[in-house]
Amino acid sequence: MTAGRLLEPGRYRLSRLSPGDRIETAAERISTARIDAFADMTGDRFEIHMDRDAARRHGFADRVAHGLLVLSVVDGLKNRTPAQFEALASLGWDWQFRAPVLAGDTIRATITVQELRETSNPERGIVTLAFDVTNQRGDTVQRGINRLMVYR
């Protein structure tokens, strides 16, 4: 894939995209309140998420954010960027949790257009987006692919 352009604010259909185009999201802090709210919503109260001492017993410096919380925040960051995909639906995620996100960490994502595909419907296409999620130190904490149905 060739290096693409950083997408300017606007709305992007399949026809306006090229492989290598990218979006840089804003940064967002993962607070203990957010971890608690996610645990309340999902019922996932595994001890490394809820208790700092338990997290330390397992070798972490602080409480660990749920991997799916981080993925959800990343999707929200994507949906709040000034450059928007004219999407109809997400078709799925292929995702890796590469390093823990701890309470107090700040994350951001680089989203790169990896592949474009037309569909049998002349009004729709599929864009494959590659995500690289980093923390405040620049370490990759999550990485993956999202397939998005967009207008052509």
Q: pTM for the complete prediction?
A: 0.93
Predicted confidence at residue 3, as pLDDT, reads: 72
Local mean pLDDT, 10-residue blocks, the chain (152 residues): 85 97 98 98 97 98 98 97 97 98 98 97 97 98 98 98
Write out the DSSP string of 72-110: HHHHHHHHTSSEEE-EEEEEEEEEEE-S--BTT-EEEEE
Task: Evaluate whether 92 touches 146 at the Cβ level (below 8 Å).
Answer: yes
Task: Evaluate whether 116 touches 14 at the Cβ level (below 8 Å).
Answer: yes
